[in-house]
Amino acid sequence: MAKHLIKRFMPDHQKVKEHKHLKIFGPLLHSADLWHLNRHSIAGAFAVGLFMAWVPVPFQMVLAAAAAILFSVNLPVSIGLVWITNPVTMPPLFLSAYWVGISVLGVTPVSVEFELSYAWLETVLPQIWRPFLLGCLINGVVSAVVGYFGMRTFWIWHVQRRWKKRNAERTQS
């Protein structure tokens, strides 16, 4: 059932293979391992997607696809999970990464107002990049580990529950 639930939300293989940013991977996208729905592939995809969601660069989908190919995990799930960081969620998530970074480094937070401009990047980013990137790395690793083991645990729990239900139905007949 976990497989059926995930399959319901999966995009068409052909659409993913023909995506303009993913065409750079060419025949690598044809590997059957990238499309399997099993415990290993989905748990690995959660780890890849959740880690890449914390990478503060444009085109996270391409990085997630490259990592999915490298680790032979489910490609659509890996790509889909990077959208956890989207224009709405990015500010609070990246602010939390900054706070994690300053907590670990023990530095004083810099009070800045965000502004989407080159001048802001030029003046403020040099002051905050170390704690910000460290926080992104820590949050990415933690998210990947929790996602990997959480999905493996959920998958095993779900399969065991189905077995018990099937056995109970057999004994009743």
CA distances from 19 to 46, 65, 159 (A): 21, 11, 33
Task: Give dist(CA 7, CA 152) in Å, integer.
Answer: 17
What is the pLDDT, as a whole number, of residue 151? Answer: 94
The pLDDT profile of the chain, 173 residues, written as one tens digit per residue, is 466 666 666 666 666 666 666 777 777 777 778 888 889 999 999 999 999 999 998 889 999 999 999 999 999 899 989 999 988 998 899 999 999 999 999 998 888 776 767 787 788 888 889 999 999 999 999 999 999 999 999 999 988 998 999 898 888 86
What is the pLDDT, as a whole number, of residue 112? Answer: 72
What is the pLDDT, as a whole number, of residue 44? Answer: 96
Query: Whole-prediction pTM value?
Result: 0.82
